[in-house]
Amino acid sequence: MQQILLIEDNAALRQMLTEALVEAGYSVTTAANGEEGCQLYRKYKFKLVITDIFMPDKEGLETIRELKEINPELDIIAMSGGGTRSFYAGSPGAELALKAAQRLGAGRVLNKPFKLSLLIDMVSELTA
40-60 pLDDT tens trace: 999 998 999 999 999 888 999
By the 8 A CB rule, do 59 and 37 touch? no
The dihedrals phi and psi of 5, each to the nearest 5 degrees, come to -105, 125
By the 8 A CB rule, do 49 and 61 touch? no
pLDDT the model gives residue 90: 47
Q: What is the CATH number of the domain that holds 75?
A: 3.40.50.2300
The number of distinct structural domains making up the chain is 1
Q: pLDDT of 115-125, one tens digit each?
A: 999 999 999 99
- Residue 3's identity, in one-letter code, is Q
How far is 30 from 111, CA to CA, in rounded Å?
A: 20
By the 8 A CB rule, do 70 and 45 touch? no
ω into residue 113 within 30 of 0, thus cis?
yes
- Domain holding 76, by residue range, is 3-127
pTM given for the model: 0.91
Query: Does pLDDT of 82 surpass 90?
Result: no
Query: Does pLDDT of 15 surpass 80?
Result: yes
